[in-house]
Structure 1
Amino acid sequence: MLLKRKGIKYNVPGVVSVKRQGIPELDEVRQWIEGYVKRVANLRDERDRGVTLLALRDAIEEWLRFYESQGALVEPEWIRVRNFDALLEKNAALFLKVVGKRRLQEERKQVAPNEERWWWWLDKKVEEERKKRLKRTATILGGVALILVALYFFVFRLPPREQQYLNALTAAEQALQNQAFEEVLTHCQEAITIFPERPTPYVVAAIAAEKLGKTREAEHFHQSARALYEKEEDFFLEEAGWYFRAGMLEEAKGCIARVLQKDPENLTALNLLGSIYEAEDNVVEALKVYQLVLDLAEKKNEITLIPVAKMKIGMLQLRLPLSLPLPSPGGE
């Protein structure tokens, strides 16, 4: 059948009309719809058909509207057409690639459709969608950039005083590990000058002064640090950790004993005690402590400690002499 639009004729394959006074039967229009459905579902086959698909869509639009105006129930037909309209619109870029953007534009000039016949304007829709994607991408990238800048200034880049304090404390820890105790005192004094209300530099300075035999100075730092902790066990835990870093294992165990005296199930203290036994190469005692840590972690549902304790137990069991029995669960 030849479909005419403003003096332009399109020979649409598969459309054969049995007309009554020039009007196609409704069943024939339904056949056109099925042809439209198949062609939209297989757009890659449109390469040699030009824009005849769009002319077919014109014919469907015209005659469905005609039958609708005559009181015919064509809602099911409209639903089917619009479902595949959505597919055509979604795959507009593929249609342009197969048919050719220039060819579409040339044929559109001859047909001169209004914008309500959107299928003739698929190239415009593709361009609009491309611009929307670019805008969305720019918005997302802009948002990511703002987040990164915010993270840099508010998270990664500390305020100047915080950075100075952190640098001083880090230098003190490094000097402590190198047994350079005079340097430890210097860096701790610097940190205390910046934030005198923070206890950690006093704890580290007390240990350095103790190692240097400066008893009165060590006691001064010790008392200053203790006064800044609300809970005594928090002070002893902090002190135990720094004694451990300094290699003063007996002093560290003494602090842990004070914590466990008040809180026998303190997992932080027990975990540190296990590390001390490991450092002393006391595998049996370390295993007992880590088994207790595992039992308590499971009891308290401390899920981050459970795999750590299991890993340490497994590694220590490999170091256990074959003549010694493995510690039983529960630390017995």
Structure 2
Amino acid sequence: MHHKPLALLVALFAGSAHAAATSFADSVPEKAEGVPLAYIGKTTTAATALTLTFKPDGGHDIGALPQGGKLQVLLVDDKGNHLVASDYGIVGWAQARENKDAGSEAFPALETVEDKEAYATIHYNPQLAEKRDDRYYFANEGEDNPAIAGVPQAKKDGEDDYSETRHRLLETALKADGARYHVDCSPGVEGGPYCVLVPVSKTLPASDDGIFAPEDLTLPGNGYLYSDSDDGGRYFRAREKWRVQDKETQNIEQPYYYLGVETTYHGRWHQDESGDNAPENRAEPLKLTDRIDGNKTVAEVAPGSKITLVLIQQRFVEREGEELDYEDRIPAWALVKTADGKTGWFNIGAGDGFPNIEGLHGFAG
């Protein structure tokens, strides 16, 4: 991550379990003074093994940092809990304990392979992987749809082409001594480009074989997958962590999503009730409050101003037994630092005009 140190005070509820300030190699505040939570934004390393969790007092484990692992201390609350981001950008509350099964966030040196046609970028651990450059395709012309080695013949003018070609880019294990997978990517047909993990086999896979792999994939060799993607189901591009379980990838929910993006505020988009006309940008100031769901304005950002999008809190990961509908996903709060160092929150989908900020986009649902 590339960012500048930040400083701000914001208020949120927090729990009791925590990694003390001495858990970090550099000095950071032990707790927030006079407010429920303070923002630090300091890059340092772990002085002891840490585990990142979803809640200040625990919750599910998100990742692990070994002693010496690089991190950014983002927030501290009045109970002494510290919210941190890994070097990749995965966010969790730091606990002074070790859980190697959560996957080390200290990545080894990685290499990269790409397929521009399939918009595929894969960062991988060369100690566990071997590059491949093979292709196979599905004709998609009947119920019996076997994989065929090579690429399909070009159709004559006027002939429909329903074929789909996959490019085998990599063979890898997700962790040392783990099961091996091929990473096969395709420009897709109707659904757009995608990649799948296919268990290594002597035969080519069936068309519905494979485990979904997220966009801009990172495979550090700790047993987990990482992605830097924007799927349209949220307002921003997010860095996420995934596990493979029951032959599918499962998103590991984070309490916040770190952006650290320097950008510009241009105003707010407004559209008439009919929805027939294109949205109009209005040069309205952006009010920042001292906390999520707060009503105390601490700063106003004028259109044309430079800002830093620091964090965003938005629900889009479904928990077990849950189905998130559109209304559940809409509430999203962003933490902003202004050019003159003031900080505060704003509600992205508050209904008073979507903020016109480079790096944020309208919500697709």
Higher share in helix: 1
TM-score, normalised with respect to structure 2 = 0.19
Which entry has the higher C-alpha Rg, 1 or 2?
Answer: 1
- If asked which structure has higher relative contact order (CA below 8 Å, sep 6+), I would say 2
TM-score, normalised with respect to structure 1 = 0.20
